[in-house]
């Protein structure tokens, strides 16, 4: 093993022949080990191929140029995520108003108001997309529902509700809160919300660690003070979904990132090295029982 492994490292090993997860018969997650011994000035990756069809991937942890956020205990229970692609027509990246979408939101608002009355359901949030970046593979969801339940079974039952199924969501999946800081759901009806979907060849535990690392930059440079990270189950089309309330409007938030050279060094580069792709959607809350635009 190389002598440079004396610094803080993520170590991941997995079978080179693993197939993509299949619902009900998913291969086990790769195993991970964090070795902390000193500091690492920059990211490093070493790939060592052995016989027996094994690969060892060693990822250095990014140097902490910024103080990390104050992470708090993960939220208990489980989340149900459902999304619809109703009429995601855009003018540039801005989602156009739509009568068809408004009718769908009205129907979903009624369903959500009934679902939230169930025992062990702690909250149901409904969102309408306002800004969909023109990125390859971006999920074109213009309506999203996020439900929080006290147990995994309750969240499963919510996603399987016949009324919800009848609305033909584009995707449905379960998730757990893997990490968080601050309070995302503060009840502000005018909040700008980020739902950042992460895909890639990384594993879920490694993706969570990457998110924890880059969060320090966002806190220091954009003023964001909250984030609720959802780690999805194997059958989901995404590894993670980051649910966060923005400190400003969408355009201002984006410019505050893209115009900073440090964004490319301390966010884009680490994500690329951890084989992660960020697919953000920007949404606004829709009051349950209301269809006001």
pLDDT, tens only, 169-224? 999 999 999 999 999 999 899 999 999 999 999 999 999 999 999 999 999 999 99
pLDDT band at 290 (very low <50, low <70, confident <90, very high): low
Under a CB-based contact definition with an 8 Å cutoff, are residues 111 and 159 in contact?
no
Between CA 86 and CA 120 the distance in angstroms is: 29
pLDDT at 18 over 70: no
**Owning domain of residue 41:** 3-60
Q: Is residue 68 domain-resident?
A: no
Rg of the chain over CA atoms, in angstroms? 20
Q: Is residue 72 domain-resident?
A: no
Under a CB-based contact definition with an 8 Å cutoff, are residues 175 and 233 in contact?
yes
Q: Which residues pair with 232 in a beta bridge?
A: 175
DSSP-derived letter for residue 268 is I
- Where in 74-192 does DSSP place strands (E)? 78-84, 90-91, 94-95, 121-131, 143-149, 171-181
Instruction: Judge if 24 and 128 occupy the same domain.
Output: no
The CATH number of whichever domain residue 116 belongs to comes to 3.30.70.100
pLDDT band at 289 (very low <50, low <70, confident <90, very high): confident
For residues 31-45, one letter each, b for 16 or more C-beta atoms within 10 angstroms of the residue's C-beta and e for the rest, the string is ebeeeeeeebeebbe
Kindly report the backbone phi and psi dihedral angles of residue 82, in degrees, each rounded to the nearest multiple of 5, phi listed first: -135, 140
Q: How many domains does the chain have?
A: 2
Instruction: Judge if 87 and 227 occupy the same domain.
Output: yes
Q: Is residue 13 domain-resident?
A: yes
């Amino acid at each position: 093993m190389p002598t440079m492994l004396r610094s803080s490292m993520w170590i991941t090993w997995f079978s080179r022949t693993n197939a993509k997860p299949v619902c009900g018969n998913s291969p086990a997650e790769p195993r991970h080990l964090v070795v902390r011994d000193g500091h690492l000035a920059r990211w490093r990756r070493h790939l060592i191929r052995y016989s027996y069809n094994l690969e060892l991937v060693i990822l250095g942890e990014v140097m902490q140029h910024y103080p990390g956020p104050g992470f708090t205990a993960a939220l208990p229970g489980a989340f149900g995520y459902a999304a619809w692609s109703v009429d995601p027509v855009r003018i540039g990246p801005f989602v156009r108003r739509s009568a068809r979408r408004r009718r769908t939101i009205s129907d979903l608002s009624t369903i959500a108001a009934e679902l939230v009355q169930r025992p062990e359901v702690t909250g149901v949030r409904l969102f309408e997309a306002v800004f969909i970046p023109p990125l390859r593979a971006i999920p074109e969801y213009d309506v999203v529902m996020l439900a929080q339940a006290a147990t995994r079974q309750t969240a499963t039952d919510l996603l399987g509700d016949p009324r919800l199924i009848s609305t033909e969501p584009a995707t449905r999946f379960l998730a757990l809160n893997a990490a968080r800081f601050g309070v995302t759901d503060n009840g502000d009806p005018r909040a700008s919300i980020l739902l950042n979907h992460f895909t890639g060849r990384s594993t879920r535990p490694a993706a969570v660690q990457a998110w924890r690392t880059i969060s320090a930059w966002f806190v220091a440079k954009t003023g964001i003070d909250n984030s609720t990270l959802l780690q999805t189950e194997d059958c989901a089309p995404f590894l993670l979904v980051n649910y966060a309330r923005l400190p400003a409007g969408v355009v201002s938030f984006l410019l505050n990132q893209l115009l900073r050279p440090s964004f490319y060094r301390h966010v884009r580069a680490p994500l690329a090295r951890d084989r992660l792709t960020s697919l953000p959607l920007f949404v606004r809350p829709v009051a349950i029982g209301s269809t006001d635009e």
